Structure 1
Amino acid sequence: MKNTIVVRSFTTAAAFVASATLVVSVLSGAPSHAATVSEPAEHCWTEVESGTSMCGKTLDALAEKMYRTHGIILQARPGEVVDDQVTGPSKRAKAKVDSERRATGEARGNARVSYLLIRGFVDTRYRGISQTWSSSLSEPPCRYYASLPYGQYESLANMFWNDTMSSYQVAQGCKLNVYEHTKFRGTKRGPYGNSPDLGILNKKVSSMSLRKDP
């Protein structure tokens, strides 16, 4: 399956150099967690179909940027139960921005909805900086194995999230395999649904694979 690759802009040269060092170590065949890399400083989001990506200092700041810039909000699929931590920031951002636009007489555009695929967190119990991967498709993403067109990430170094994740949330009906090394190698954990603690793989995940919940 074709791998989705997202390149994120960095706000400091130091962050770029650290990440480049990691990529070199992976390509050279060194263990994927051999290099020491600074953890991400911002919450980030990527939509897998469009490749649209942006970051914010807080989840609320990120949601506001998503809505102001692209008109995008994160929302639960029909019949899906999603933690308010996922959808709450978008609800607040939309209410705030729409209120400002009403006050100034600015026309309000229609919101475009994107749906959770995976959200990884730096810390256990869904805490700390996060990276969200979402999809514009409203149908359940893991209904059939054969139709799963995304969620296969053979190298998190490409996204600068190598050896960073300690917990994750996934779309309802999905489970996730996480691996110690790139290309789905090394110690494996899963497939599991929402996981508040990755145990021996905390901050050691280098690739992951989304799967249907049997």
Structure 2
Amino acid sequence: MESKKNLNNLAEIDSIYIKNLDIFRELGNICAGGAGNILSKLIKKKIYFDIPPAKYLSISQIIKGRLIENKNQICLYGTIEGFFQGKIFLMMPIDESGIIIESLNKLNRLEKKEDDKIENSNDIILQEFFRKLIIAYTEALGSFLQKTLIFEEYQFLMNLGSDFESYLVKSTKVNQKKAITVETIIKVENEEIIHCSFLLILSTNEIDKILKRINEVW
């Protein structure tokens, strides 16, 4: 009897989060706008982006979907601290990173001084690029919530590959079963589409805290 009651409570909680997915999609839209502005300034091109519907998925569903859809991913992940705590991942398929590297290298050559003889490797260029995007994403989120949020304690991987499962499981709490995901699809003017996926991992307590704050400021 107690087990059935617990299942009903879990179903009710899931229902609440599913009903609020549009709010998290809009939140993702606001955050992506901040990241898009930084990207536009970095590569000196106009940026368009699309935010598919947010999803409330089990950790196993996220892992399965990512491993099937995008096997080889460049990834920067870390911790968001401040008003709430969470894990954030920024991923991009390796075969789409060439657009970014080419644009940033071209810009670096144009801005390079004669006495500057140090060439950054592609992984350093991409790491700094990813870091700036996540910081912009985090700051836009903090600005909307009118709360302090800081991105820190990060790790950069040039090829996440099949290790995604171990990194995702390691970054989540033992009792955490589900997460809200928000994907961002970015298109660079006159270029191919770049799929930048921001994955925000939040415990139920943190989701509740964010929803309450959104009701106060929105």
TM-score range (shorter-chain normalised) is under 0.3
Return the TM-score normalized by structure 1. 0.26
More helix by share: 2
Larger relative contact order (Cα-Cα within 8 Å, sequence gap ≥ 6): 2
Please identify the structure whose Cα radius of gyration is greater: 2
